[in-house]
Amino acid sequence: MQMDGAGRYVAEYANRGAIAPLDSYLGGELDLGDFDQDQLDAGKVNGTLYAISLGANAAGAVVNADAFAKAGLDLPGPATTYDDLRAIADAFKSKDLGMRVISDLSGLWAALENWLIQKGKALYTADGKLAFDADDITEWFQLWAGLRANGVCVAPEDQALDTNSPDTSALTTGKAAMSMKFSNELVGLQKLNQAKLALTNMPRIAADAPGGHYRRASMFFSISNASARKDQAAKFINFFVNDPEANKILAAERGIPCSAQVRAAIAPLLDEQSREALEYVGGLGPLLGKAPPTSPAGGGEINESVLPAASQEVAFGVRSPEEAGRYFVANANDVLARAK
């Protein structure tokens, strides 16, 4: 089975015995000798390997470069802060571009995580608890409430139509000139957009703040623990991640290959967007830090349901940022307690 690489569900499946431990296949059916260590570690739960990364990526801002050129602005970069988005919005309005600067990211777990890391925090602790409190999430909701009020981010009724898929993205529908995506998504987004897209880092909370970025597994392969053919499944995964000819077809669609041999084989064949994604992940420099703890059991529900629901209630005025902050933390803690 293939799963999202944020680790939201790997821990849940591993803890209830739904997916098979893979350590016994290493050096045999699974040859991961030249795999990046951080990507190998990403698939472990409590020190045991349960999932194999299909490629590394990093979160970033995908930007409509044509819109910024029409506004007479340089593309956002390492020095761009959240406060700078307001000045960019003024330039967009003066040129009557008919789009907002950025989609509303208040309900996106990856955007919240990037912001928290810049503050020296994370989404979760290593022992599976929230790594932030109600004051932090309230501040996050207040940040986006201000951007919303100033016409910097997409209006609630438009954002509600963005299901975080390439075809409904505010970039593709022309509602926003920036959105947060993972680097391997640039290829698919560019195919749907006539405007030239570019990949850059997320805005910073201050010019001297850490970048909040890290390399993550884009997708994972795991094996059902109920399978009668685990050996063959392991051989298939090995083919998928190690065979140069297979990866010449796949290119970097699942992220930057974790095998050094495979990276060397496909590098000359990558298209423009895949090369840009590779260069982006490799060029984050000081903006790139150590990966935070992966999501615990229950993290998927919090990231995909509790956070979007709370953020949307703030956007539509159902709750204040303060009320939503308390509501979110209470619900998230209930989810984590239930999942244990």
Instruction: Say if residue 271's pLDDT is above 90.
Output: no
First to last CA, the chain: 23
Percentage of the residues of the chain whose pLDDT score is greater than 90: 77
In the block, tokens 């919303």 appear at 148
Measure the CA–CA gap between 226 and 215, rounded to whole angstroms. Answer: 31
In this prediction, residue 278 has a pLDDT band, given cuts at 50, 70 and 90, of confident
Measure the CA–CA gap between 314 and 106, rounded to whole angstroms. Answer: 9
With contact defined as beta carbons under 8 Å apart, do 193 and 171 qualify?
A: yes
Domains and CATH numbers, the chain: 2-56+216-272 (3.40.190.10), 59-213+298-339 (3.40.190.10)
Instruction: Say if residue 133's pLDDT is above 90.
Output: yes
pLDDT digits (tens, 9 = 90+) for 201-234: 999 999 999 999 999 888 999 999 999 999 999 9
Determine the distance from the C-alpha atom of residue 162 to the mean position of all C-alpha atoms in its chain, rounded to a whole number.
16
Determine the distance from the C-alpha atom of residue 249 to the mean position of all C-alpha atoms in its chain, rounded to a whole number.
24
In this prediction, residue 290 has a pLDDT band, given cuts at 50, 70 and 90, of confident
Instruction: Say if residue 61's pLDDT is above 90.
Output: yes
Instruction: Say if residue 4's pLDDT is above 90.
Output: no
Q: Which stretch, 39-43, 231-235, 265-269, has highest mean pLDDT?
A: 231-235
With contact defined as beta carbons under 8 Å apart, do 281 and 58 qualify?
A: yes
Instruction: Say if residue 8's pLDDT is above 70.
Output: no
Instruction: Say if residue 283's pLDDT is above 90.
Output: no
Instruction: Report the predicted TM-score, pTM, of the whole model to 2 decimal places.
Output: 0.87
The pLDDT of residue 270 is 87
In the block, tokens 């296949």 appear at 25
CB atoms within 10 A of CB 28: 11
Instruction: Say if residue 338's pLDDT is above 90.
Output: yes
Q: In the beta sheet, which residues pair with residue 2?
A: 221
Burial class of residue 235 (count of CB atoms within 10 Å of its CB; 0-12, 13-18, 19+): middle
Question: Nearest Cα to 124, choosing from 327, 297, 326?
Answer: 297
With contact defined as beta carbons under 8 Å apart, do 288 and 326 qualify?
A: no
CB atoms within 10 A of CB 269: 13
Q: What is the mean pLDDT of residues 139-164?
A: 96
Instruction: Say if residue 7's pLDDT is above 70.
Output: no
Question: Nearest Cα to 99, choosing from 165, 24, 171?
Answer: 171
With contact defined as beta carbons under 8 Å apart, do 13 and 222 qualify?
A: yes
Percentage of the residues of the chain whose pLDDT score is greater than 70: 99
Instruction: Say if residue 5's pLDDT is above 80.
Output: no
Measure the CA–CA gap between 47 and 215, rounded to whole angstroms. Answer: 19
More confident residue, 165 or 200: 200
The pair of three-digit structure tokens given for residue 147, joined into one six-digit string: 């951007």
Question: Nearest Cα to 179, choosing from 168, 169, 191, 190?
Answer: 169
In this prediction, residue 125 has a pLDDT band, given cuts at 50, 70 and 90, of very high
- Average per-residue pLDDT for the chain: 94
The pLDDT of residue 153 is 98
The pLDDT of residue 256 is 87
- The sign of the dihedral angle between the CA atoms of 47, 234, 33, 289 is negative
